[in-house]
Amino acid sequence: MRYLSGRGDPLILSVTVMADALPYRCTVATDSGRIREVKAARDHDNMARTGMTLLRQLGDDSRGDALLKFFGHEAHFVRWHAMREYAALRGADAIPELQSALAAETSPYLARAIDRLIEALRKLIEDQAKCL
């Protein structure tokens, strides 16, 4: 934990937490106790996530293959970010790759999130079919 001020009460506390041996940083507003930000403590994980978002924003479906490479990343939050960006880029076409990722996922929390993402994409297909 870092205390970032020398005088008075701290405005923000920054805590690095080890989860599954992968550190992440949580910033909390001391006046309200609310979490302001959660991000990877390792800069290269944050840069990878930023790069994934950029790939999606470019809007070129062929760039999705680069996102697939991160589905096996050691950090669960990097894997999840890649899957969300991939789903945002490919829509319902992402379901087969997400199902493969779900079958291989070791984190029960991430497995539940992937399952919910697949459900949401399937619902999107159903809703679109109703509109036709």
Same domain, 68 and 21: no
Q: Total structural domains in the chain?
A: 2
More confident residue, 41 or 121: 121
> CA 132 to CA 128: how far, in whole Å?
7
Domain span holding position 77: 43-131
Contact, 81 vs 103, CB < 8 A? Answer: no
Rounded to an integer, the average pLDDT of 41-55 is 75
pTM for this prediction:
0.67
Same domain, 27 and 49: no
Would you say residue 11 has pLDDT above 60? no
Same domain, 22 and 59: no
Question: Residue 41: its pLDDT value, please?
Answer: 61
Same domain, 28 and 88: no
Q: What is the pLDDT of residues 88-129, one digit of tens each?
A: 999 999 999 999 999 999 888 899 999 999 999 999 888 878
Would you say residue 72 has pLDDT above 70? yes
Same domain, 56 and 70: yes
Q: How large a percentage of the chain has pLDDT more than 90? A: 28
Sequence-distant (6+) residues with CB within 8 A of 102 are 111, 114, 115, 118
